[in-house]
A and B are shown apart, each in its own frame.
Chain A
Amino acid sequence: MIRLSGTLAEWLLALPLGAVFIYASFDKILDPAAFARIVYHYQLIGPSRVIGPLPANLLAVTLPWVELLAGLLLASGFWRREAAALSALMLAVFLVAVGAALARGIDIENCGCFSVTEQGRRAGAQLLVADAGLLAAALYLARPRAPADR
């Protein structure tokens, strides 16, 4: 029997967080090449002479699907803790990527968060704050629980 589990607070966090991830995945899934260009701009995993374009391309092709799947699981409640852990991991990586770009003075005109077109938002300190907020929600949802309230 399917039964809704989780406290009200968890649902109130998981539904919007899941929605954010699902929404974030669409544009990238529809235009992987445009998203790959954005990954290149971060200059963290290439392309470079040493590692070539493969790591950046693989990330561009797979990351949106991790976002979509994690978002669906978060919103549906199935394997929610696991999906939340994966979301927290992604958000932590985004935090590091944006922070590293800012620290190195790389101007990321479009962070690639939601839109892959030119109108996307610029990577800045504001974005770090928003990311940290989502990360806190994901960590809360991923926290270990006593067997009784699982």
Chain B
Amino acid sequence: MRFRFAGRVCAIGLLAAGLGLAWNAVSGRGLALGRNVMVKEGDEVVPVAEARARIEKGALAVDARPIDFYNMQHIPGALPLPEDDFEAAFAAIETRLRASSDVLVYCAGFGCEASHNLSRKLKQHGIPAAILEEGWPAWQDAGYPIQEGPRP
């Protein structure tokens, strides 16, 4: 009796999962299962070690998080470009961005889409920008140097 109950519970779950996978495959609304849905064709996503190497070679880091987070801590040398205040912030650092041959955007990590959106916005302005994979938490966890306080 107990086995039949558990079997039916599993059957419902499996049937539903099968329907979900089928819908994902044929509905045209589906997502690529192996890919982060925030990453689109043409995005350049860079692991943290490579990001650090590029920053040391002169790449410009850009912080897409809300300004309060930047003011607390950020990657050394990074410029603030909060996604929620794009126009004003972009105007303030546009010359620096255009002067740099390598721009790297980061935000608050997986689950944060600001860096992805920002890199596309910059691309529209003619500035190619790579995205730091796993964002700020990856930088912190790696034990890389951190700068505190607002932009001087």
Contacts and interface: CB of A to CB of B under 8 A. Distances in A.
Interface of A: 29-33, 36-37, 40-43, 46-49, 52-54, 57-58, 60-66, 68-70, 73, 79, 81-83, 85-86
Task: Give chain A's interface secondary structure class.
Answer: helix
Given A32-B29, A52-B34, A82-B8, A40 B110 contact: yes
Given A66-B12, A82-B8, A82-B9, A53 B21 contact: no
Given A43-B110, A43-B111, A61-B20, A53 B13 contact: no
B53 interface: no
8 contacts: A47-B110, A49-B133, A60-B31, A61-B21, A62-B17, A62-B21, A65-B17, A79-B8
B43 interface: no
A66 B19 CA distance: 9
B149 interface: no
A61 B30 contact: yes
A62 B31 contact: no
A65 B30 contact: no
A76 B34 CA distance: 36
Nearest to A66: B16
Contacts of A42: 111
Given A30-B29, A41-B111, A85 B9 contact: yes
Nearest to A89: B9
Interface of B: 5, 8-9, 12-13, 15-17, 19-21, 23-24, 29-38, 109-111, 113, 133-134, 138
A70 to B, nearest CB: 7
A54 B31 CA distance: 11
A14 to B, nearest CB: 15
Contact of B38 (A31, A37, A43): A37
Nearest to A55: B33
A125 to B, nearest CB: 21
Contacts of B9: 82, 85-86
A30 B27 CA distance: 9
A75 B13 CA distance: 17
Contacts of B33: 53-54, 57-58, 61
Per CB-CB distance, the 8 closest pairs between chain A and chain B, nearest first, are A62-B20, A65-B20, A66-B16, A65-B16, A82-B8, A62-B17, A40-B111, A69-B16
Contacts of A82: 5, 8-9, 12
A43 B23 CA distance: 25
A68 to B, nearest CB: 7
A82 B134 CA distance: 40
Nearest to A63: B20
B12 A65 contact: no
B12 A40 contact: no
